A and B are shown apart, each in its own frame.
Chain A
Amino acid sequence: MAMLEVEALNVLFTTPQGKVAAVRDVSLEVVAGECLGIVGESGSGKSQLFLACLGLIAPNGRASGSARLDGLELLDLDERALQRVRGARASMIFQDPMSALTPHMRIGDQLAEVLTTHRALSRRQALARAAEVLSLVQIQEPERRLRQYPHELSGGMRQRVMIAMAILCEPELLIADEPTTALDVTVQAQILDLLRTLTAQLNTALVLITHDLGVVAGLADRVAVMYAGRVVEQGTVADVLGAPTHPYTCGLLDSVPHLRAALEPLPIGIPGQPPDATVVTSGCAFVERCGYGDAVCRVERPVLRPLAGREIACHHPRSQH
């Protein structure tokens, strides 16, 4: 059974410039032990979707639809109930570990706080457990690290602490939002290996939000590609990245330079800019940047439908080669 089931989720922000629909009618699920990659560019709604699930969107935002964690409807929970879920049953790893950790608290106190809040452990028990989990995320000399402050740690080490904090209570759902974007590439490889090992060990459902298709290719089992707040293609990583059918997925893959690909021609990218989220159109949001759009695409929004082993929202899917 799915650990997280999102159904027809919408996130709408009220701004001085008008209503902004950040997430539109998204349905997806993640099962235990599985990694779902969420790919999209800035403004595609990939982060807001999961912030909404955990009740973390900004005060001018409103989420509607359904998001169930092991059957529990998250959107109906009040703040107190959400606090019991966050950090215990569902945790989040953020992009920038420096701003996500409290700068004036020792690492040990920040980690212990999670356990004294959610697990009714004493401070001493909590610190002992925190040291255990720091070893689990391959931090040397955990007792010494517990006494340090975030600024005394390197970027990679801070991200390990963030991961340790997220898995302290062995959550059923772990959401990693660009967990390696702020890190150097050699350290990124280490952190991805760690996430891979840990989620297998703990049988956690992992959501990996990233703009980096390479990271998804290495870690995720399935992937959902988002554009302008909607899922436009989803399926197994092998299907979607190996043989993309949505013109946007194709365009994204063609934009990424490969270390071993031919040098000519240069990657073409996708012409134009991502659409303005305040503008509501009836047709496909990608039509202005798509090489295959026609009159139908402008008036009729394509719905997600099964095709070639995955789901795709497009009137003119590309055939697989």
Chain B
Amino acid sequence: MRPLLELERITVDFELGRRARLRALDEVTLHVDAGETLGVVGESGCGKSTLGRVVVGLVRPTSGTVTYAGTRIDCLPPREFRRWRKHLQIVFQDPFTSLDPRMTIAASVGEPLGSFGSGENAAAIEERTVAILERVGLGPSLLGRYPHELSGGQCQRAAIARALILQPDLVVCDEPVSALDVSVQAQIVRLLAELKTEFDLSLMFISHNLAVVRLLSERVLVLYLGRRMELAPRERLFTRPLHPYTRALLASVPVADPAVERARERPNVGGELPSPLSPPSGCVFRTRCPLAIDRCARERPRLEEVEPGHWVACHRWAEAP
């Protein structure tokens, strides 16, 4: 069966002034199946947010194609793209800035129905708004409130309700829990997991937090400086990562158990992200990679399927200890 969403060799360049060009995504190909959650992880500047925006049509790719349910949607004029918007929704990181401060929660959550619905009247819109808000855990007493009267967690629930009210097929979640306190993060992750099953959603779950991505994703894509480093089913990526960058990422995450945290080996990647304005030649990770050799500077590694479903872009993956 054909995947719900297919991205083919997506490249996004941002022009910064006359001479500088920032390549945010470099030939990224991926697909998301119906009902599947694809996790996208990487550090700042890896292109993960740009990727999510390309999917929902907020950023136009410089080259490459986006195909949704068999239809190419990346080059549609805005008027025609409107037809697809209700199928593709997004939840942003900061719920305070993604909700209009001058609109009540009910107005913000119900607005998509007015714009993209099938001509429901005000009473029907209100009924569905109340129902979806209740489903995400917000009672009717919050309907008339404004975002500043709500906590971060409550605002994020409202943002999720707004994304779901049109019954989309795919929701991009761009760091949906990163701005929240840890006790509230867990509530939202749980809610997303329930909603995914209940509404039969596909999710693109974008986060820098590997442990959160692991909870929700069936497959995980690791990005670095706009390129795909590794793509694998969840269990493989977390138990047998092959790319040196994925291994470094996993090794860098602190563990809340003091006995484990003090005994573990420190990651051996030094340095910091190179400037995306002048990325290294060959493999972009080579400047920080403990396994880099001359070839890595000369030749850009291709993403290869080294085991069924497990893709790696590294000349040296087989050398990993």
Contacts and interface: CB of A to CB of B under 8 A. Distances in A.
Interface of A: 41-42, 154-157, 184-190, 192-193, 211-218, 237-238, 241-242, 251-259, 263, 266-271, 273-274
Interface in B126-154: 151-154
Contact of B272 (A156, A217, A271): A156
Interface in B52-111: none
16 contacts: A41-B183, A155-B44, A184-B273, A185-B249, A186-B267, A188-B252, A189-B266, A215-B254, A237-B258, A241-B256, A255-B183, A257-B214, A258-B256, A259-B250, A269-B183, A273-B153
A223 to B, nearest CB: 9
A71 to B, nearest CB: 31
Contacts of A192: 254
B187 A185 contact: no
A218 B252 contact: no
Given A156-B272, A188-B252, A253-B256, A273 B186 contact: no
Given A218-B262, A241-B256, A242-B259, A255 B210 contact: no
A185 B212 CA distance: 14
B259 A193 contact: no
Which of A156, A188, A255 lies at the interface centre, i.e. has the most chain B CB atoms within 10 A of its CB? A255
Given A186-B269, A273-B151, A259 B214 contact: yes
Nearest to A154: B272
A257 B261 contact: no
B210 A184 contact: no
Which of A155, A185, A211, A263 lies at the interface centre, i.e. has the most chain B CB atoms within 10 A of its CB? A185
A259 B252 contact: no
A23 to B, nearest CB: 18
A257 B43 contact: no
Interface string B162-196: 00000000000000000001111111011001000
A166 B150 CA distance: 37
Which of B209, B212, B267, B272 lies at the interface centre, i.e. has the most chain A CB atoms within 10 A of its CB? B272
Contact of A186 (B252, B257, B260): B252
B190 A268 contact: yes
A184 B184 contact: no
Chain A interface helix/strand/loop/mixed: helix
Contact of A266 (B184, B208, B215, B260): B215
Nearest to B239: A260
Interface in B236-255: 238, 248-255
B258 A238 contact: yes
Contacts of A252: 182-183
A266 B193 CA distance: 9
B308 interface: no
Name the 5 nearest CB pairs between A and B, nearest first: A214-B254, A269-B186, A270-B183, A213-B256, A184-B43
B249 A186 contact: yes
B128 to A, nearest CB: 26
Contacts, number: 137
Given A186-B248, A193-B266, A242-B257, A255 B185 contact: yes
Contacts of B258: 217-218, 237-238, 241-242
Nearest to A42: B181
Given A186-B43, A266-B190, A273 B154 contact: yes
Contacts of B248: 186
A154 B184 CA distance: 31
B119 interface: no
Contact of B273 (A154, A193, A212, A213): A154
Nearest to A237: B258
A41 B181 contact: yes
Nearest to A263: B215
Contacts of B256: 213-214, 216-217, 241, 253, 256, 258
B210 A259 contact: yes
A257 B252 CA distance: 15
Nearest to A220: B258
B270 interface: yes
Nearest to A40: B181
A251 to B, nearest CB: 6
B66 to A, nearest CB: 28
B211 interface: yes
B23 to A, nearest CB: 19
Contacts of A217: 254-258, 260-262
A274 B256 CA distance: 22
B253 A185 contact: yes
Interface string B193-233: 10000000000000011111011000000000000000000
B186 to A, nearest CB: 3
Contacts of A187: 272
A2 B275 CA distance: 45
A218 B254 contact: yes
Contacts of B252: 185-186, 188-189
Contacts of A259: 210-211, 214, 238, 250, 253, 255
A184 B208 contact: yes
Contacts of A273: 151, 153-154, 184
A242 B43 CA distance: 29
Which of A155, A186, A274 lies at the interface centre, i.e. has the most chain B CB atoms within 10 A of its CB? A186
B181 A211 contact: yes
A216 B256 CA distance: 7
A217 to B, nearest CB: 4
